Structure 1
Amino acid sequence: MELLIVGLGILVLLFLIMKVKLNTFVSLVIVSIVVAIGLGMPLTQIITTIENGIGGQLGHLALVFGFGAILGKLVADAGGAYRISTTLIRKFGRKKIQIAVLVASFIIGIALFFEVGLVLLIPIIFSIASELGISILYLGIPMAAALSVTHGFLPPHPAPTAISGIYDANIGMVLLYGFIIAVPTSIIAGPLYTKFAQKIVPDAFKRKGNIQALGEQKDFVLEETPSFGISTLTSLFPVILMAISTCYELLSGGKITEQSSLFDQSVAFIGTPGMAMLLSLLFAIYTMGIRRHQTMSQVMKSAEESIKQIAMMLLIIGGGGAFKQVLIDGGVGDYVANLFIHSNLSPLILGWLIAAVLRVCLGSATVAALTAAGLAAPLMAATGTNPALMVIATGSGSLIASHVNDAGFWMFKEYFNLSIKETFATWTVLESIISIVGLIGALALNLIV
């Protein structure tokens, strides 16, 4: 009965978003109330549960997401992302141009959210492709693969950061396992898949692209941008801090607690996601702003613009948290856990499967991941599955089969001037490859760790 109510709730959510065209955040809150009533929750408790869900989700995420958005905007506005991509492309040369694009997109993808990275990198891709006389899609697929992998697997991106909190996973371990799985996944979905795509839809690789769809672009003079080293360091700084903290904790042989030494606690402190992002932002303000003789008001203008860009996404994530909390407080999570507790189905597969179904239905990878995590968390706890691998598996599921209800599908189609069929054969397939390879990677690591 509980699953039927949730299923009907998701159908209502689909109807409100796709047919009524109601805002996703408003739709999530409405469906959360409807599902809560259907589950028999006391009416006086429903709004409190929704508030707790939104507060708990954003309380965990707002620091990381907000600071991350500002950091990415500073790197982009200063020309740091432009410097990273152009330097790597020139260093690797024509023969290894796809690998250069993949590496550059991966580094930039860590610092910038998916849509921002796409808009920033596409003009560079177009320019390089024109200069070398090669297909823009030949470079576009590796770029999209790297950006999508970082978006789905690695903090401080919204979905992996949010579901790390739901699963109570160590962010550093999510990063470690995420990198191990992300590198081969990017190669398979990027350069390797490009060879097959060229045979499946050869006409797509003859397209000239639609640079006008990006709107007005900022032009950079390479010599006036920050150096490659400082741009890369700034982009990767939060990852470096969290990785140092995690490695230190692993080498010290145990979890750092209040009883640990002051030095141990200090290392753990700077590696917490919120603190790592704050220190990284302060570093970016200096390297991308003050060091380049910008006034603080100029730097803060970029910061304000970045927050405006993510405001609605924050609300949508909060709405996803509300729905997740209703599922938990309404007993759906425990019901699912009890349903599968004696089954041979791995929680990794269950988390991936639920996220995959929701992704196909809803379009939003973040909402799919949050809802799936709310359902799979009790089963994970009951079976003792590694929380960090649960994050990777659920994040992988949330990427599968992007189609017409996902903004990314239309962005890719418009920018590369593709037909619907060609977009399915390139973008949709590469997203599905990332999803499946990510799950396989999580299952393989689960046998080792």
Structure 2
Amino acid sequence: MAPALFALAAPETAVSTGRLLPAALIGIALIVVLITRFRLHPFLSLTLGSLAVGAVAGLPMADVITSFTGGFGSTAAGVGTLIALGAMFGKLLADSGGAGEIVDTIVGRSGPRSLPWAMAAVGALIGLPMFFEIGLVLLMPVVFLVARRSGLSLVRVGVPALAGLSVMHGLVPPHPGPLVAVDALKADLGITLGLGVLIAVPTVAIAGPLFARFAARWVDVPAPELFEGRRDEVGAQVRRPSFGVTVATVSLPVVLMMGKAVADLLAAEGSVVRSALDFFGTPLVALLIAVLVAIFTLGRGAGMDRKALAASLEGALPPIAGILLIVAAGGGFKQTLVDSGIGKLVADWVQSSGLSVLLLAWLVAVLIRLATGSATVATVTASGILAPLVTTLDTGQTSLLVLAVGAGSLFFSHVNDAGFWLVKEYFGLSVGQNLKTWSAMETVISVVGLVLVLAVSLVV
């Protein structure tokens, strides 16, 4: 009986494989070529890639458009508001001087031997609410000043700060990449946040201060005098919120979201405590509360008037328009893959192959990252391909799948990554030196992140 059933099913599977697998490969290849060869914006590339997938798979184009727009809209609704609120929070942190207060306090209390560790902590704290590029621009004056005044190598001081920024960007919500993966894979945000922080701390330590010891031997560049006078001038003009108030404000959304996760595990369903923590720990509510609190603790605490506060909040939104479109288009691409049946095909293949789902997720993200140079594109595309797999995973494993994708999305930044050139120019490095420092650091983050994800999966 079993052979007969297999014989009946085989032609359908072969036909599906014959149409769907080439559709997926062509769609992804088209996205990669459009981004890397023709320098087309990822939003347009993902949109065209989605249409190509549907056309090659033989789906009615009207259905393809419906799938894409449906995925685009649901992702924008689920993630777009969070990215916007996160951007507002980060802008308030920067404009109020709160970020500078964190940096100066931690660095000021550190000796030469502990400075790399302090810079890693600064990078992680600043990176928690801010996009990587914004955090990098904000930290560069600090990195230069610390390197010059301490006499340490610019690489010895800068790599730990970059590691803190990058790890937060790839592994910890509310950054766009992790948020997209959480949304696409239907993971629990609180558990993902908790596991992300658990994995992020040792990853930052290894890829930051520890790796920097070796990187500083390979590359030794002096810190420029840039920002020396400008920072002192700004510091004298701006009244800052206190260190304690700033750290408490930055930690608020994290505490609220983790409180929801703890309540879901420990509190009785339907109880007042669980209902309250579930509401306040919902990402939208947690970030909204954080922004409202930051208006008073950071904005008013720094002496900003209504006009300055309004300008800060408004100025946070235009720079993230491109990110929002890329993320939403990634959601549309994901939905096209799911509705075409490609995702189920991949899921069935993984289940029959015996490969670790977490390892596969990391590999898929690595390949897309290497091809496109974008961690966000790697995350949204890999999440779409792997979305059907979550039906076979429990809550903890699904969160680890998000983190495996995030770790893979950071692998070996090179010449097709805008971040590569940003770091190169700020640090005054050659391409070869940047590969030995920044690119190597990103690879260490990716590999260590994967190892820790696999280790945690043994007990979760």
TM range, smaller chain = over 0.9
Contact kept in structure 2, 1:136 and 1:209, CA below 8 Å: no
State whether structure 2 residue 403 is matched by structure 1 residue 392.
yes
Paired residue for 1:290, among 291, 300, 308? Answer: 300
Compared with structure 1, are the counterparts of its residues 293 and 210 closer, same or farther at alpha carbon in structure 2 (3 Å cutoff)? closer
Paired residue for 1:96, among 90, 103, 114? Answer: 114
- 1-side partners of 2:92 and 2:172: how far apart? 20
Contact kept in structure 1, 2:147 and 2:153, CA below 8 Å: yes
State whether structure 2 residue 358 is matched by structure 1 residue 351.
no
1:330-409 alignment runs, 5 A limit: 330-384=340-394, 386-409=397-420
Paired residue for 2:179, among 141, 144, 161? Answer: 161
CA distances 1:41-83 after superposition (whole Å, capped 9, x unpaired):
1111121111111111111111211111000000001111111
1:56-205 alignment runs, 5 A limit: 56-199=74-217, 201=218, 204-205=219-220
Contact kept in structure 2, 1:83 and 1:222, CA below 8 Å: no
Shift of 1:210: 8.5
SS of residue paired to 1:402: coil
Larger Rg: 2
Shift of 1:237: 1.3
Deviates more, 1:150-159 or 1:187-196: 187-196
Deviates more, 1:41-50 or 1:390-399: 41-50
State whether structure 2 residue 50 is matched by structure 1 residue 35.
no
The aligned counterpart of 2:10 is none
1:416-435 alignment runs, 5 A limit: 416-435=427-446
Contact kept in structure 2, 1:154 and 1:160, CA below 8 Å: yes
- 1-side partners of 2:26 and 2:242: how far apart? 54
Shift of 1:217: 11
- 2-side partners of 1:330 and 1:308: how far apart? 34
Deviates more, 1:358-367 or 1:38-47: 38-47
SS of residue paired to 2:128: helix
Contact kept in structure 1, 2:253 and 2:290, CA below 8 Å: yes
| 5+ residue gaps, structure 1 | none
State whether structure 2 residue 316 is matched by structure 1 residue 306.
yes
Paired residue for 1:241, among 242, 256, 262? Answer: 256
Letter in 2 for 1:248: A
State whether structure 2 residue 460 is matched by structure 1 residue 439.
no
CA distances 1:354-398 after superposition (whole Å, capped 9, x unpaired):
111000011111111111111112123225471111111110011
SS of residue paired to 2:353: coil
1:269-280 alignment runs, 5 A limit: 269-280=279-290
Paired residues in the alignment total 439
Deviates more, 1:378-387 or 1:405-414: 378-387
The aligned counterpart of 1:415 is 426
Compared with structure 1, are the counterparts of its residues 243 and 99 closer, same or farther at alpha carbon in structure 2 (3 Å cutoff)? same
CA distances 1:378-423 after superposition (whole Å, capped 9, x unpaired):
1232254711111111100111011111111111111001111111
- 2-side partners of 1:263 and 1:439: how far apart? 35
Identity rate, percent: 39
Shift of 1:139: 0.8
1:258-269 alignment runs, 5 A limit: 260-269=270-279
Contact kept in structure 2, 1:80 and 1:226, CA below 8 Å: yes
- 1-side partners of 2:215 and 2:139: how far apart? 21
Contact kept in structure 2, 1:337 and 1:382, CA below 8 Å: no
- 1-side partners of 2:377 and 2:350: how far apart? 23
Shift of 1:181: 0.7
SS of residue paired to 2:187: coil
- 2-side partners of 1:127 and 1:198: how far apart? 17
CA distances 1:72-131 after superposition (whole Å, capped 9, x unpaired):
000001111111011001112222001111111111110111110000001011011111
Compared with structure 1, are the counterparts of its residues 291 and 191 closer, same or farther at alpha carbon in structure 2 (3 Å cutoff)? closer
TM-score (norm 2): 0.92
| 5+ residue gaps, structure 2 | 1-17
State whether structure 2 residue 65 is matched by structure 1 residue 47.
yes
- 1-side partners of 2:232 and 2:332: how far apart? 37
- 2-side partners of 1:352 and 1:236: how far apart? 29
- 2-side partners of 1:27 and 1:151: how far apart? 23
- 1-side partners of 2:233 and 2:184: how far apart? 39
CA distances 1:276-332 after superposition (whole Å, capped 9, x unpaired):
000000000111122333222211211111101101110011111111111111111
- 1-side partners of 2:393 and 2:239: how far apart? 55
Shift of 1:220: 2.2
SS of residue paired to 2:259: helix
Letter in 2 for 1:225: R
- 1-side partners of 2:57 and 2:275: how far apart? 43
The aligned counterpart of 1:220 is 235
Which runs of structure 1 show a deviation greater than 3 angstroms over 4 or more consecutive aligned residues? 207-212, 215-218
RMSD: 1.9
- 1-side partners of 2:259 and 2:27: how far apart? 43
SS of residue paired to 1:208: coil
- 1-side partners of 2:454 and 2:136: how far apart? 30
Shift of 1:142: 0.3
